[in-house]
């Protein structure tokens, strides 16, 4: 029986145009809407799979304001059994602050008899690109950590994590308790069913305050990459463009005479 804590973050939907806030400290999601990052969707799926295979409990955790309950409900709707909200202004928390708060939840839950032998996180934050929380959390808890895993399973007292390395798939076996950060691509997140959504609405979300004052993100600013240049070639207008189209198809190798 493995208790799994999966950590998620409320982030702007990146499927639309990315706009930064005026101070360039975060992505502005007021017009794009909010969601959970693809890395974390896969982490939630793996948490549900591991607890389903071992008979454990999957708990979803986030740090944020009351609106972040939406992301907790999404995880509950696909199979997590419990949820915890650390009520705080997420924009004022840096990676070290977030890791400290997750560690505080792990310790408090363990003291209450709800041990989280495995903690899963997204490989990085979809909005700020922080890659630090998983490593900082593992250091805080004194646990081994595997970064960037695509597939995770539990074999007795061991976590088996598979990472796509430069030379192919690498398999890591580390003892529980452990921390693993997840990259998308290894599993397909399930879509919440109507009964799942209805059940998620009935789950009581544990709300708690932060354990300490945040030190802040220490971020200078975010930068948007330059737009990808595009070229347009006008081949002609009307029927006069037909020969040019044929010549272009021959050049591309999709048409032979």
Domain assignment present for residue 218? The answer is no
> Which of 200, 204, 157, 209 shows the shortest CA–CA distance to 44?
200
In a domain, residue 242? The reply is no
Please tell me the predicted confidence (pLDDT) of residue 252. Answer: 77
Flag whether 252 is in a domain: no
Bridging pattern class, strands 34-36 and 10-12: antiparallel
Q: Which residues pair with 85 in a beta bridge?
A: 62, 207
Query: What's 241's DSSP letter?
Result: G
CATH code for the domain in which residue 55 is found: 3.40.50.620
- CA-nearest of 108, 174, 103, 175 to 133 is 103
Task: With cut-offs at 50, 70 and 90, classify the pLDDT of residue 254.
Answer: confident
CB neighbours of residue 142 within 10 Å: 8
DSSP H or E run through 172: strand 168-175
Segment 233-244 mean pLDDT: 79
| 18 is a domain residue | yes
Q: What is the DSSP-derived secondary structure letter of residue 16?
A: S
Q: How far apart are CA 154 and CA 176, in angstroms?
A: 9
Q: Is residue 254 part of a domain?
A: no
In a domain, 59, yes or no: yes
Mean pLDDT, rounded, for 151-165: 95
Range of the domain at 155: 4-208
Query: For residues 78 and 32, which has the higher predicted lDDT (pLDDT)?
Result: 78
| Cα–Cα distance for residue pair 171/181, rounded to 1 Å | 14
Return the higher-pLDDT residue of 33 and 98.
98
Q: Is residue 125 part of a domain?
A: yes
Length of the chain: 257
- Report the C-alpha gap between 82 and 204 in whole angstroms: 8
Q: Is the Cβ–Cβ distance between 183 and 142 less than 8 Å?
A: no
pLDDT at 27 over 70: no
Question: Looking at the 3D structure of the chain, how many domains does it have?
Answer: 1
Q: What is the mean pLDDT of the chain?
A: 88
pLDDT tens digits for range 48-98: 999 999 999 999 999 999 999 999 999 999 999 999 999 999 888 999 999
Q: Is 41 exposed, middle or buried (0-12, 13-18, 19+ CB in 10 A)?
A: buried
Q: Is residue 236 part of a domain?
A: no
Residue 28 clears pLDDT 70, i.e. is over it: no
Condensed to tens digits (0 to 9), the pLDDT of residues 17-26 reads: 666 666 666 6
Q: Which of 164, 175, 178, 92 is nearest to 134 (CA)?
A: 178
Task: Give per-residue pLDDT as tens, 104-138.
Answer: 999 999 999 999 999 999 998 767 667 899 999 99
């Amino acid at each position: 029986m493995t208790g799994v804590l999966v950590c998620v973050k409320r982030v702007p939907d990146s499927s639309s145009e990315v706009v930064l806030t005026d101070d360039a400290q975060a992505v502005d999601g007021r017009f794009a809407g909010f969601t959970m990052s693809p890395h974390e969707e896969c982490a939630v799926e793996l948490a549900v799979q591991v607890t389903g295979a071992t008979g454990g409990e999957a708990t979803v955790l986030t740090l944020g304001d009351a609106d972040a309950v939406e992301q907790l409900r999404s995880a509950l709707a696909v199979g997590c059994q419990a949820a915890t909200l650390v009520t705080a202004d997420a924009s004022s928390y840096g990676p070290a602050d977030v890791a400290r708060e997750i560690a505080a939840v792990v310790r408090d839950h363990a003291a209450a008899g709800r041990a989280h032998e495995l903690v899963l996180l997204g490989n990085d934050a979809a909005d700020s690109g922080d890659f630090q929380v998983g490593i900082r959390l593992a250091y805080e808890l004194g646990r081994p950590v595997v970064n960037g895993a695509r597939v995770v399973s539990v074999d007795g007292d061991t976590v088996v994590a598979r990472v796509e390395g430069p030379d192919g798939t690498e398999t890591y076996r580390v003892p529980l308790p452990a921390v693993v950060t997840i990259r998308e691509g290894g599993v397909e997140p399930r879509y919440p069913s109507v009964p799942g959504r209805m059940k998620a609405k009935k789950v009581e979300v544990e709300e708690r305050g932060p354990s300490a004052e945040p030190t802040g993100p220490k971020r200078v600013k975010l930068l948007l990459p330059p737009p990808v240049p595009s070229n347009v070639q006008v081949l002609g207008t009307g029927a006069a463009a037909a020969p040019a189209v044929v010549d272009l198809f021959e050049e591309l190798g999709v048409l032979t005479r």
